[in-house]
Each structure stands twice: as C-alpha cells, then as structure tokens.
Structure 1
Amino acid sequence: MTGTPRLHRAGPALLQRARGLRPLIEHEAGQAEAQGRLTAPVVDALHETGVCGMWVPAPLGGAELSPRELLAVIEQLSYADASTGWVAMITTLENGAAGAYLGDEAVEHMYKGPRMPLLAGQGTRPGTAARVAGGYRLTGRWSFGSGMLHAQYTHSLAIVEDTGEPRMFVTPVEDITMLGNWDVLGLRATGSIDYAIDGVFVPEPYTHPFALDEPRRGGAIYRLGLLDQALLCHSGWALGVGRRLLDELIGHVGARAGRPGQLAGSDAFHTGFARAEATFRAAAALVHQTWDDTERVLESGGRLDVRQETLVRLALNHITSTVAEVARFVYASGGTSALREGPIQRLFRDVHAGTAHITSGPAALAECGRELAGLAPGEAWAVLGLEA
C-alpha cells in the first residue's frame, strides 16, 4: 500500500440494522445460553445484516466501520445480549485483522465465499512456531478461544522459536482439537472453548506479526494494530451491558411502583441509583472522548502517542470496573427477581465473566497510573505494559 491510509466511514445503515436485530437476539438468548453457543437464527441474521463484515476492509467487501461506528454497533448488540455482543465483536475484529494483515494467497482463499469468514482464538498466552520451508509448524494449547464454536478459522498467537518474534497464525478449525470445556459463570453462549494445535503446518501468507500496524488492505483503523482494536471491542461491549443493566433495573422498579415497601419509594434507592447512573455516564463519556480523539489522530494520518495509548487503556479499564460496580448495585436492588433466572441474573454473571479479561486487568491499570503520573519517561506501550 502506498501513501497514508485514510479513515473509512460507512455511515449509519449498519447500526440501524444491528438495532433491528434486538427482538430476535433477546428471543434466542435463553436457548443460546442453554446450548453454549449462539443459535443458528442469530448467526444467520448477523451475516445477512452485514454485521459479520463490519470490521472487514472495504476492498474485501466489508463495511470497514470507523472506531466510533464500531463502538456504536458493538454497544447495540451487547445491549441486546452480552454473549451475542461478545461473539460479534471478537470474530469480526479477527476477520478484519486477517483481511488487513494476511498475505494475498490467504485472503484470496478466505474471502471468496458468499459469507464473511469468522475467526476466533487467543492472542495472549502464546504457543510455539518452528520455521519450515514455506511457513511454520504450529503447536500449543490456548484457553478461552472466544467464539470458537462459531468460527471457520482460528487466529492464534505463537512465538517463533528461532527469532522470538510473536506472530499470529490463522488455521482452519479442522486443524485444531477443540477441548470442549466451556463451563463458566457467565458469557455461556459465546462458545469460547479451549483448543489445542499439534504440529500443524501454517503457510507464510496465513501469518502476520502480532504488532503489525500497517495494513496491506483497508484504511487507517488498521494502523491501530491488533491490541488497540481489541481495546475498542471491549469498550463497546461494556457500554452496552452497563446501559442494559441500568435499564433493566428501571423496568423492575417501575413495574412495582406504588406498592408498599417497594424501592420506588426509598430515598436510599433514589440516591444509589443516581450515583450509579452518574458513574456509568461519566465512564462512558471517557470512552467516547478517548475514541473521538483517536479518530482525529487517524484522520490526520498520525499514530497514537504514549499518552493517547495510555488513555485508551484507562478508558477500557475504567468502564469495565464501573460496569462491575453497577452490576452489583443492580443485583442487590433486584431482590428475588435478580436471584432467579432472567435478564438481571444473566447480565450480572456475564459482566463478571467479562471483567476477567486480561485487557481490563489491574496490571494494565497500574501501568496507566505510572505513565499518567510522569513516572515512565522514555517508555512506550508494548501490549499491556510500558517498556523503555
């Protein structure tokens, strides 16, 4: 690619279609949770509306949404159902990255069908890759392959043995062993099982450096690199589930207003709800402000500096911890309705599963504080830590 990639915007049509999927997604959520994966009608609808191509480069027929457009679509899907939003954000992030960064041979094969390919996998705990003629031999075991039961390809991090280079490797799901152990507190419908690969040959065009931030195809969003795009994913998810939690509590309390002893007449509840609403809105505002600034940087042809990299990490960490606080308040306020199977109980479990993700962990927050306090001069972000 020559010149500086431009930031692509697709407009509001995909957001409107995503919003229109809410009745179907909500109807299917219970069955999806019971079977441990999204139902076929929901997956079909995600394809038919173009959601599965929301991150794919425009030259490959995708929507290639801008960061703010992606935030809005992921928020809508996650509001409808946390597991659906999670599967959509992860599989589309990875098919977008594959389309932007893989070699021509891989892309010509993967993106030639009537549907966008879905990718799933793990990019934190690496396997190993031995260099051989024409590619690599990939071996490893990866935990929490988000959306694996919905994917046609895996997208796995491994370290190249002779160089120590971290690379991403794309393999057909037929080449992996699915370990089938998705027995978890929340996000049960995501099908995010552990998987293993034993000495599978991966051709060179089906790999790319983990830290690659210059796309072969598509525009400026891919200059963020894989990690920053993942931060965007999880931020949109937290926005959706946090708003849904508060709205569910509004409906719960309103349906019981006027009855003796109900929360609707409690000053303590009124105060607590006001604080929860304000805290969530403030955290959401930081997310939006941070990604608004990011778009301006990308539009100008620039890259994020260290402080901007800090802020996208801080915004995600803050919205995630805030939503966890909101979930605890909503659950405590929901009484026996929250205890029983239903939206509040499921959201409570899903939120606490989501907070366990490494991108929102305490180590990243501590590094943000170190940089913001001026204690990391000359250091730059390397994944979730600062290095000189």
Structure 2
Amino acid sequence: MSDTPRLHRAGPALLERARELRPLIEREAAAAEERGRLTEPVVDALHDAGLFTVWIPAPLGGAESAPTELLAVFEELSYADPSTGWVVMATTLENGTAGAYLGDDAVERIFAGPRAPLIAGQGTRPGTAVPENGGFRLSGQWSFASGMPHAQYAHSLGAVEGSDEVHICVTPIEDVKPLGNWDVLGLRATGSIDYAIEGAFVPESYTHVFTLDEPLRGGALYRLGLVDQALICHSGWALGVGRRLLDELARHAAARSGRPGQIAASDAFHTGFARAEAAFRAASALVRQTWADAERILEDGGRPGVRQETMLRLALNHITSTLTDTARFCYAAGGTSALRDGLTQRLFRDAHAGAAHITSGPQVLAACGRELAGLAPGESWVVFGLEPA
C-alpha cells in the first residue's frame, strides 16, 4: 500500500517550463509532421525540462502532479503542437503507472537512468500472456503505440491464458517488432505505429493487473487506476487543441480587418465565432470542474464513486465532440487559407484524429446517459462500460 496516501502536488514549475518550450515546439512541428515522429531537439528539450517526469511517483524522483496540474501541462503542450502534447501525455501516463504499480525489481531497473524512461504501447486490445516460471510469455500485435520511436520500453495488454486476468506487461524495446505502417491523416508526428511481440518472456515484476488501483509507490493520484488516469490525458489534449484553433481563427480574422469582403466584417462570422467560443468554454469548464471535484475526493482519502466516474467520462466525451465542432467551424471560416497546407489545416486533421480515440467513443457516451438517467442501479464502471457490481 502507498506510504503517501494524500494527493501530491508538484507546483507550477513544470507548467512554466512547458510554456517556455512553445517557440521551439512550434518551429519543429512541420519537420516532425514530415518525419512522422517528434524531432530530437524537441524530445531532448522535453527531457531537459523534466516534463517526462510529470506523472512519475515522487518516491522515484518524479513530479507526481495532481490531476488539474496534469491537465494544465498537457493543455499547454497540445496548444503548441497537438502531436507533441499527445506523445507526452501517452508516454508519461505509462511511465507514471509503471512506477506506481510494477514490482520492485522492474522499477529499480526501469528508473535507474539519469533520464525518465519513455514507455509507449497500447492498453486496450490484449495479446496473450502465457504463465511461465515466475512470469509470462507474451505474444500479440497491438496498434497505435504513440511515441514508440522514442521509447525504451513497451507497455502492452495481455490476457493471461487460463484465467480471467488481464495484465499490463512492460518489455524492453528490443522485444518489439515495429510494423512500419504509420500513414494517417492527423497526429502524424506522434509515430503511433502498430507493433508485434513474439514470445517475449516478461518477469512477473514487470507486469500488473490492468485494473489495479492501489499503488505500491506514490499517492492518491494512482488510486484512480489506469483508465481513469487516461481520461486526464485526453481531456488536457482537447483543451489545448480547441483553444489553439479558436485563437488562430481570431488572429486570421484580425489580420484581414478593414479589407472588403473579409470575415472580419461579417455578422454571420461574428455570430458563429461567439457560439463556438461559448460552446468550447462551457465544455472546458465542465472538464475543469469535474477534475477539481475528483481532486477533492482524493484529498479526503477517497476514490471517485460511480457518478463521479460518469462525469469524468462525460466531460471528456463532451469536450472531444465540441472540439470537432470547433475544428469544423474554424476550418470553414478560414476559407482558402485553411485549405492550404499550414497550421489550421494541421489542427483540423489532428483534432479529428484525436477524437477517434476509444476513450471518447459513442458507447461510453451511451453508458454515461444510462447511468445519469438512473437506469444502471447497482452497476459500476469497468474500463469503458458499466457492469453489475
């Protein structure tokens, strides 16, 4: 059981460092998009700023940020570049939960270096983990391993043969076979490749039950469990991308003010922009409110209940759908400037790519509605659905 049961707060330093990196991230974004991975100057700068430690438990030397602090960091990085924000949120979730939940032998090795380890992989569709002499023999194929080109370890879901258990298995990158098929419309610089593992041995210390919500290291953040922590990632990402879309459109309109026939003089544009701002700000407020409420529960030593988990999922689903509405409005209002290759086009593509993630899927929204309507008595959240307790 954790020896720091209360919620840890890292303070504002990492957010300030993320903000300072914005000019570099923006300069490198086009090159990263072309290469299908973040550039080395950006990865090095993120390491040097300590941003890959944002989720690592404090007993391991990490920042162990609180949920609202994580939201702010991911919002800032995603505002600078959606792919950069996505890679940081994905890899830090995985190195943070590894630090909290893996066994001592694994943690001593993985976190021994001078830099935070980067762990990438996929935790929704399982491969097969066959029990074998103090560990598991892992095989399978997984999709969308965001940040894999920069990682030293892979985080993969494995269904344990002969049981109902599902484990996260952490393996050295040398056990991973990249499938080299990253050819997508948006979030191109995330390098979210598909990969395979063929019979790698994973010591038990390098695994944990997927639904584990009692950390071996660190505080109350890790009582959320892996899935609820993942909601922080995608909510913070949507906050940053949506805000950047609206800010870019405002700059575009202002630059054309005074020219005949431009959107700056259009009442229809003014009305549409007001509605887009209101909708996005309202969705953002719901995210911030629900996570502030969850923090208070964690600070009091509790865990979110069913209704609170519903609201966390609903807030993510709502801001994600609002983000795609915002992207469509900004793209259409941008006219031929948005049509050409450039920032607005990239933001439009990235917004729609990110919105396709399973955490914001329609089945989650339907389950939220069922619970909120009082139609799921005695049920609780299991990953992305409600099941009888």
The Cα of 1:243 is off from its aligned counterpart by: 0.1
Other-structure match for 2:43? 43
Q: How does 1:365-384 map to 2 (within 5 A)?
A: 365-384=365-384
Other-structure match for 2:216? 216
Other-structure match for 2:142? 142
1:34-91 Cα offsets, whole Å, 9 max, x none, are 0000000000000000100000001111111000100000000000000000000000
The Cα of 1:150 is off from its aligned counterpart by: 1.4
Q: Hey, what's the Cα distance between the residues in 2 that align with 1:81 and 1:250?
A: 18
Q: Hey, what's the Cα distance between the residues in 2 that align with 1:352 and 1:150?
A: 24
Instruction: Give the counterpart letter for 2:168 in structure 1.
Output: M
Structure 2 unaligned regions, length at least 5: none
The Cα of 1:4 is off from its aligned counterpart by: 6.5
2:63 is the alignment partner of 1:63: yes
Q: Hey, what's the Cα distance between the residues in 2 that align with 1:163 and 1:59?
A: 33
Other-structure match for 2:189? 189
Secondary structure class of the residue paired with 1:137:
strand
Other-structure match for 1:303? 303
Backbone CA RMSD of aligned residues: 0.7
Q: 8 Å contact 1:220–1:299 — kept in the other structure?
A: yes
1:5-57 Cα offsets, whole Å, 9 max, x none, are 11000111110000000000000000000000000000000000010000000
Q: 8 Å contact 1:129–1:136 — kept in the other structure?
A: yes
The Cα of 1:375 is off from its aligned counterpart by: 0.3
Secondary structure class of the residue paired with 1:194:
strand
Other-structure match for 2:206? 206
Instruction: Give the counterpart letter for 2:195 in structure 1.
Output: Y
Q: How does 1:192-271 map to 2 (within 5 A)?
A: 192-271=192-271
Query: Please, what TM-score do these two structures have when normalized by structure 2?
Result: 0.99
The Cα of 1:148 is off from its aligned counterpart by: 1.0
Q: 8 Å contact 2:2–2:215 — kept in the other structure?
A: no
Count residues in correspondence.
Answer: 388
Q: Hey, what's the Cα distance between the residues in 1 that align with 2:3 and 2:149?
A: 39
2:28 is the alignment partner of 1:6: no
Q: Hey, what's the Cα distance between the residues in 2 that align with 1:280 and 1:2?
A: 38
Secondary structure class of the residue paired with 2:64:
coil
Percent identity for Structure 1 against Structure 2: 74
Q: Hey, what's the Cα distance between the residues in 2 that align with 1:334 and 1:43?
A: 31
Q: Hey, what's the Cα distance between the residues in 2 that align with 1:155 and 1:105?
A: 16
Instruction: Give the counterpart letter for 1:376 in structure 2.
Output: A
The Cα of 1:164 is off from its aligned counterpart by: 2.0
Secondary structure class of the residue paired with 2:158:
strand
Secondary structure class of the residue paired with 1:368:
helix
2:328 is the alignment partner of 1:328: yes
Structure 1 residues 334 and 2 mapped into 2: Cα distance closer, same or farther (>3 Å)? Answer: closer
Q: How does 1:90-169 map to 2 (within 5 A)?
A: 90-169=90-169
Q: Hey, what's the Cα distance between the residues in 2 that align with 1:334 and 1:2?
A: 51
Other-structure match for 2:291? 291
Q: 8 Å contact 2:220–2:299 — kept in the other structure?
A: yes
Other-structure match for 1:30? 30
Q: Hey, what's the Cα distance between the residues in 2 that align with 1:339 and 1:221?
A: 42
Q: Hey, what's the Cα distance between the residues in 2 that align with 1:146 and 1:165?
A: 25
Q: Displaced runs of 4+ in structure 1, greater than 6 A? A: none
Other-structure match for 2:316? 316
Q: 8 Å contact 2:138–2:197 — kept in the other structure?
A: yes
The Cα of 1:184 is off from its aligned counterpart by: 0.3
